[in-house]
Structure 1
Amino acid sequence: MKIENIREVKTRFSRYVKELPKSGSVLITKNGRPCAALVPVTEDTDLEALALSQNKSFWKIIDDAIERGRKKGFVSLASLLDAAPRLPADFPKRIRDRRPERVKPL
């Protein structure tokens, strides 16, 4: 991750945006303190997850739910995963074998 002053980014904004896929994220500082970030967006970027990761009210809901679970004795996700039945090693292959042929567009 690059760290750049806001003046530098403002002066060469187009260049920074163009180089994002290659260089990665840029942390922008103002008076030496972080104030913003430029993040590359690709086909693999989950924009909803990116937006939620910055939403304080979303994280408050998550934290409150976890706390309620602790107080009421809910089962942890880790214990559910430990108790889950294991899929056979060839499971993905069996699904792939049953998938119908793709239909070619007209």
Structure 2
Amino acid sequence: MAQIEFDERLRRIQRRNRRLSRGAVPYIDSTGLVTFRPKRRGLRLPLRGLLLVAAGFVVFKGLVLAHLGQELYEDRLALLRSGTVIEQGGAWAMEIDPATEWVAAQLWPFLN
């Protein structure tokens, strides 16, 4: 029994040491003891940055819609829809949605 517990503890220590050898971050616990934790690996998406990019894209679409007007904007989208696969993807991304309409309505008085 004691040998099994010892082997399990040894495996945990070895696994932790392997993870620490790939990079570590210092951490101070509540008692003030400095220990090292393994760095997290994997894909970590910056959610705040992605949301800012999405919001900026919606504002850009609203600005273009307010500047061109609904009819001309739809004509340009129709032209994109009849193009290559990449242009069709751009037309899909530039579709008018409720958020874009709201931004365009807010910006329209400043542009016209």
TM-score by length of 2: 0.23
Relative CO higher for 1 or 2, CA cutoff 8 Å, sep ≥ 6? 2
Structure number with the higher helix fraction is 2
TM-score with structure 1 setting the length: 0.24
Pick the structure with greater CA Rg.
Answer: 2
Higher strand share: 1
